[in-house]
Amino acid sequence: MWVFRNSVLNSVPNSLNGRSKNVSVRAMSDPSARPSLGITALGMYVPDRVVPNAEFEARIDTNADWIESRTGIRERRFATPEQFTSDLGVLAVRNMLERDPQALQGVDAIICATVSPDALMPSTAALIGMQVGLVGAAAFDLSTACSGFVYGLSVAQGLIMSGAARRVLVVGAEALSKIVDQDDRNTAILFGDGAGAAVVGPVPAGYGFQEFVMGADGNGGSSLYLRCVAPTLPGGFDMGDSVGMNGREVFKFAVRVLGESGAQVLAKSGLTSADVHWVIPHQANVRIIEAAMDRFGLPMERAVVNLDRYGNTSSATVPMVLDEAVQDGRVQDGQQLLLIAFGGGLSWVAGTMKWWDGAPSLKPAQTAGVSA
């Protein structure tokens, strides 16, 4: 498992708009010397079309109650035939801008986490940037499936700390209904479409990201996959033409790595489970979340869950569930968050952060427009 240790800089910016420079070796092992970087804006979007479990009963050997009891999912959203991943990402960013018109000020890099890109090239990140006023910003896609958004946060942090960027737009967006076989009982019932977006930049001292832990194991590639150019994985495993999954193996993997990576990142942060106000988990299956919470010794009430309404939106789940918890007032200023996710690769990621609500889109919906 690879541990991302927050590199730090000799000179911390004097203002929240400063560009980070000059990596300090001393500060790399001194958390108190690290510049504070975190989320400075949020937005999300889900398509209008609601697809309840009952819709699958006519074509798949299943029923609505069975789906909900096994997964926790009641419904999900599907994009229209004319909507693709970049469209969903753009709408998530526009939602952010509606709540905070200055949210993209100073953004000079874009990361889009997705496994359902509009195209292999141009990048979906570049297509999003073109439509939200960020032409000229560095832009690239990141492919670690459901781990992608939290991976993206750590990459964004690294870009800023290295001086390569001032602020980074990180988007998790998926149009999974386009790539899932809707007649496959193993996958069709699980996935939905949606997008979440966040800006990463300087935040006040004491807030923001603390540590990230990331890893991947290609030996598990045949448990969750989607082909591109090659018809088979190394070793000859045939991937077929749509998303494939070995549900039993993914479930066992997820329960193990969420617990292990979460425990590791808490230890690296000098925290215990008792310090965590909210766990922000990837939304794959409620039973996986329950098992992870049990490993942390925390009640389910401390996990933020919305997969009952949106299903598994892969890289979009974490930003979407975080944004909903911010909007409804659950996540509040100064609270300790634990972000955990797993995905194709097989991959995993966990991160700790102290929440800052000092920007308009980071406040509860009913108070976002009220000045202090």
* Tens-place pLDDT, residues 175-233: 999 999 999 999 999 999 999 999 999 999 999 999 999 999 999 999 999 999 999 99
Separation of CA 126 from chain center: 19
In this predicted model, what pLDDT tens digit does every residue of 59-77 receive, in sequence order? 898 999 999 999 999 999 9
257-286: average pLDDT: 97
Domains 37-202 and 208-356 alike in fold = yes
- Active-site residue, from 6, 146, 285, 306: 146
Told to judge if 312 belongs to the known catalytic residues of this protein, a careful annotator would answer yes
Told to judge if 277 belongs to the known catalytic residues of this protein, a careful annotator would answer no
Q: Kindly indicate the confidence band of residue 334, based on its pLDDT and cuts at 50, 70 and 90.
A: very high
What angle, rounded to 10 degrees, do the helices at 124-131 and 85-99 form?
A: 40
CATH 3.40.47.10 for the 208-356 domain, yes or no: yes
- Cβ(190)–Cβ(75) under 8 Å? no
Told to judge if 282 belongs to the known catalytic residues of this protein, a careful annotator would answer yes
pLDDT number for residue 141: 98
- Cβ(108)–Cβ(165) under 8 Å? yes
- Active-site residue, from 53, 95, 306, 312: 312
- Active-site residue, from 6, 53, 282, 306: 282
pLDDT number for residue 365: 87
Domain ranges, ordered by start, for the chain:
37-202, 208-356
Q: What percent of the chain has pLDDT over 90?
A: 87
In this predicted model, what pLDDT tens digit does every residue of 11-53 receive, in sequence order? 333 334 444 444 444 444 566 667 899 999 999 999 999 999 9
User: Which amino acid would we find at residue 306?
Assistant: N
> Architecture of domain 37-202 in CATH?
3-Layer(aba) Sandwich (3.40)
pLDDT number for residue 31: 62
